[in-house]
Amino acid sequence: MKKTVVLIVLTLAIATSIAISSVSYAQPYGKGLYGIIKYGSETSLTISTDGNVNIPTITPTESGALGTGNSIVTITSTDVMGYKLYIGASTSTNMDNLGTPLPTSANAYGNPATNPLAVNTWGYNVDGSVVNFCGMPLDSSRQLVKNVTVPISGDNTTITYGMKINMGKPAGNYSVGVIYTAVPQTN
Dump pLDDT digits (tens) for 15-63. Answer: 333 333 333 344 444 455 555 555 445 778 999 999 999 999 999 999 9
In a domain, 8, yes or no: no
CB contact set of 142 (below 8 Å; sequence gap of 6+):
86, 87, 88, 179, 181
In a domain, 73, yes or no: yes
**Domain assignment of residue 63, given as a range:** 39-184
Number of domains in the chain: 1
CATH number of the domain encompassing residue 170:
2.60.40
Structure confidence at residue 13 (pLDDT): 36
Q: What is the pLDDT of residues 143-181, one digit of tens each?
A: 999 999 999 999 999 999 999 999 999 999 999 999 999
In a domain, 127, yes or no: yes
pTM as predicted: 0.79
In a domain, 15, yes or no: no
| DSSP state letter for 90 | S
